[in-house]
Amino acid sequence: MIPGKIPSEQIQESFIQLMDQLYRCACNDDKEILLYLDPMHQIHNNENDYAWQPTGLKGTKKVLANTGRKRLNIIGAVNPVTFEPTIMLTEENCCAEVIEAFLGELRQQYSSATSICIILDNARYQRSYIVQEKAKKLGIDLIYLPPYSPNLNLIERLWRYFKKKIMKNKYYENYTLFENAVETFFQTFNDRIADMKSLLNFKFGIIKAN
């Protein structure tokens, strides 16, 4: 799906140039940190994907499902230089206070950094006064993406990868099993670094406006 209100190609290109500058600085100095932040609201339910099966009724595969009444909010940030993720899991609704707390965790994780730049989208709670004030107090620069440009948020690729590995055609009988699968995915993330090096390359596609 393509956003209905795409920013101009010039705006997208200019932002890619800005990100490239920040990325080069982060690559050359481990005290300068670049992060991509985005919350994902994951429902406890199977997400259907394509599958092969024999033709005919006998070959039909059964796809089990849950009620979809519970969800787990995954607040995430990823470092495009080290590919290291930072994750906060909560069943609470994602709000300004949750993002505020997450910024504190990021500052603690990168306590020796002289500069932290975070690229994130324009969700209202992420642009709130308390989030921006918290960022200032922590010495974090928030850089907001052009509106309607998920193609420029690197962490979106990680979320697609996560869904493919953990959610697509997967059935978790109860919420605890689902939550454990999510936690295990990130606890064993070092095993996925080879995939991340390919997936989180610093190449961004530009969506052409009609």
Q: What average pLDDT does this structure show over 29-49?
A: 89
- Neighbouring CB atoms inside 10 A of 166's CB total 16
What is the structure's pLDDT at 168? 87
What is the structure's pLDDT at 38? 98
Task: Give the percent of the chain with pLDDT over 90.
Answer: 79
What is the model's pTM? Answer: 0.91
What is the structure's pLDDT at 51? 62
pLDDT digits (tens, 9 = 90+) for 94-136: 999 999 999 999 999 999 999 999 999 999 999 999 999 999 9
Q: What average pLDDT does this structure show over 38-54?
A: 77
Q: What average pLDDT does this structure show over 155-167?
A: 96
What is the structure's pLDDT at 103? 99
Place 60 in a pLDDT band, splitting at 50, 70 and 90. Answer: low
Residue with tokens 């890619």: 16
The H or E element that residue 85 is part of is strand 85-90
Q: Is the pLDDT of residue 195 over 70?
A: yes
- Neighbouring CB atoms inside 10 A of 159's CB total 18
Q: What average pLDDT does this structure show over 131-142?
A: 98
Place 1 in a pLDDT band, splitting at 50, 70 and 90. Answer: low
- Neighbouring CB atoms inside 10 A of 66's CB total 16
Higher-pLDDT residue of 134 and 47 is 134
Residue with tokens 């200032």: 136
Nearest to 157 by CA among 111, 205, 118, 113: 205
Q: Is the pLDDT of residue 56 over 80?
A: no
**Cα–Cα distance measured from residue 185 to residue 124, given in angstroms and rounded to the nearest whole number:** 29
Q: Three-state secondary structure along 101-157?
A: HHHHHHHHHCCCCCEEEEEECCCHHHCCHHHHHHHHHHCEEEEECCCCCHHHCCHHH
Q: Are 88 and 75 in contact (CB under 8 A)?
A: yes
- Domain annotation for the chain: domains and CATH numbers: 9-43+67-199 (3.30.420.10)
Place 46 in a pLDDT band, splitting at 50, 70 and 90. Answer: confident
Measured on CA atoms in the order 172, 74, 144, 25, is the torsion positive or negative?
Answer: negative
Q: Is the pLDDT of residue 26 over 70?
A: yes
What is the structure's pLDDT at 50? 61
Which of 23-32, 40-49, 71-80, 184-193 shows the lowest per-residue confidence on average (mean pLDDT)?
40-49
What is the structure's pLDDT at 49? 60
112, burial (CB in 10 Å: exposed 0-12, middle 13-18, buried 19+): exposed
Q: Are 48 and 163 in contact (CB under 8 A)?
A: no
